[in-house]
Amino acid sequence: MEPTLGKFNMDKFDGKGDFVMWKFKMMGQLKIQGLLAVIVDGFTVYSTSEKQEEGEKHVIDQKKFEKDLRVRSLLDTCLSDSILRKVMHEQTALGMWKSLEKL
């Protein structure tokens, strides 16, 4: 049985099918769930504050972190084991997404 995202069924990407179509469908699912911003360049899990001093440690924004975790978890379930092994070392969903695009 394939994983579902909400009410929608999402096929696993195994490297043999059409990545462009899989990517399009995945982006649609992320958009429906309000998570598309997580895989857009410039997304960060850190708080962006104008008051932050240069050199100060970045503070993780818990809501952004949770969204990133949700997208990483969705990607985990929508990739075959062989493809997941190639991207699972990435620390963020955006990193995983970029690695997938390079494959």
Q: Has residue 89 been placed in a domain?
A: yes
Q: Has residue 2 been placed in a domain?
A: no
> How many other CB atoms are found less than 10 A from the CB of residue 39?
23
Query: Contact at 8 Å (CB) between 78 and 39?
Result: no
Q: Has residue 79 been placed in a domain?
A: yes
* Total domains present in the chain: 1
* Tens of pLDDT, residue by residue, the chain (103 residues): 444 445 556 789 999 989 999 999 999 999 999 999 999 988 988 887 655 556 667 788 899 999 999 999 999 999 999 999 999 999 999 999 999 999 8
The CA-atom distances, in angstroms, between 58 and each of 52, 61, 89 are 8, 9, 22
Domain with 78 in it: 16-47+55-102
pLDDT on residue 4:
46
Query: Which amino acid type is present at position 25?
Result: K
Q: Which two tokens stand for residue 19?
A: 């990545």
Q: Has residue 96 been placed in a domain?
A: yes
Q: Has residue 8 been placed in a domain?
A: no
Query: Which amino acid type is present at position 28?
Result: G
Q: Has residue 78 been placed in a domain?
A: yes
Say how many Å lie between the first and final Cα of the chain, rounded.
25
Q: Has residue 23 been placed in a domain?
A: yes
Query: Which amino acid type is present at position 86?
Result: K
Prediction pTM value: 0.80
Q: Has residue 26 been placed in a domain?
A: yes
The CA-atom distances, in angstroms, between 42 and each of 4, 38, 55 are 28, 9, 19
pLDDT on residue 54:
61
